Amino acid sequence: MVARMIRDLKADIITLKLGINVYGSGSLNSRTLMHNVICFIVFVRETHQNTPIGMITPIYSCDRETNPNHVGMTLENYREELRTAF
């Protein structure tokens, strides 16, 4: 839904901040995160082929850096997956 909204907006630059809420909710894991991020970017690129897209990975959170959430991922795991997908 959000990817479609961004796709339909006019933009000179797009900045995405991804990961911290996903860690907290445990809504995506190592099997599903990369696929969802890639699909998100594909939707946005439908109308923004030449628009620069930047990504901000999860902010530092000392308790979450090495403690896995209920799907077994730490914030560093999310950062690694996001860098690979992006």
Which pLDDT band, with edges at 50, 70 and 90, does 60 fall under?
A: very high
At 73 the pLDDT is 96
pLDDT at residue 86 is higher than 90: no
At 1 the pLDDT is 86
Which domains, from first to last, does the chain contain?
A: 2-85 (3.40.50.1110)
Predicted TM-score of the model (pTM)? 0.85
Between 44 and 63, the more confident residue is 44
The answer for residues whose C-beta is within 8 angstroms of residue 21's C-beta and 6 or more apart is: none
